[in-house]
Amino acid sequence: MDEGYAQVVELLKKVSPLAVKHNITIVIEPLRRAECNLINSFAEGCKLSADASVPNVKVLVDFYHLTVEHEPVENLLTMGKENLRHVHFANPTGRVYPNLDDEADYKPFFDALKKIGYDARISCEAYVKDFDKEAERALAFFKRNW
């Protein structure tokens, strides 16, 4: 694990100058343990970004992975302002589009994003059966909550 982590740090340092040249921010996405064995939390992604020590390596937070991994939303409050560059979103029950305000504990997540002044994109990364219908409901959900 240590060797693999070190290899990722070195890779980020190597590709960073090319990304800077093209005005690209590299964004680390922590994934749940069932999908990845290296970076499983926003906090670990922030550590990787810090260890790479290059200005254009930042972190993504995915509500689904954060919830499944039981990561405290407080990590966004302590590390998000400096590190957060993108948000993925899905209902953690079924990894589907969000629909109802009370189907998951969404409020603390949205409150944390607002508190750190996050004002960039939020994208849905979820399974869908009827895109038109479910996307419309998800859009209404985001308008109510964001």
Give the span between the Cα atoms of 76 and 51, in whole angstroms.
18
Can you read off the two tokens belonging to residue 15?
A: 């590709």
Amino acid letter at 66?
Answer: L
Can you read off the two tokens belonging to residue 134?
A: 């479910």
Q: What is the pLDDT of residues 37-76, one digit of tens each?
A: 999 999 999 999 999 999 999 999 999 999 999 999 999 9
Give the span between the Cα atoms of 38 and 1, in whole angstroms.
7
Helix, strand, coil % over all residues of the chain, rounded to 5: 50, 15, 35
Q: What is the pLDDT of residues 61-119, one digit of tens each?
A: 999 999 999 999 999 999 999 999 999 999 999 999 999 999 999 999 999 999 999 99
What's the pLDDT at 125? 92
What's the pLDDT at 128? 92
- Note whether 50 and 9 are within 8 A (CB): no
- Note whether 79 and 55 are within 8 A (CB): no
- Tally Cβ neighbours within 10 Å of residue 77: 15
Q: In terms of Cα–Cα distance, which of 103, 86, 81 is closest to 94? A: 103
Average pLDDT of every residue of the chain: 96
Sorted by sequence, the CB contacts under 8 Å of residue 50 that are 6+ apart come out as: none
What's the pLDDT at 138? 96
Look at the pTM and tell me if it is higher than 0.85. yes
What's the pLDDT at 83? 97
Give the confidence band of 9 by pLDDT, cuts at 50, 70, 90: very high
Give the span between the Cα atoms of 102 and 75, in whole angstroms.
22
Give the confidence band of 17 by pLDDT, cuts at 50, 70, 90: very high
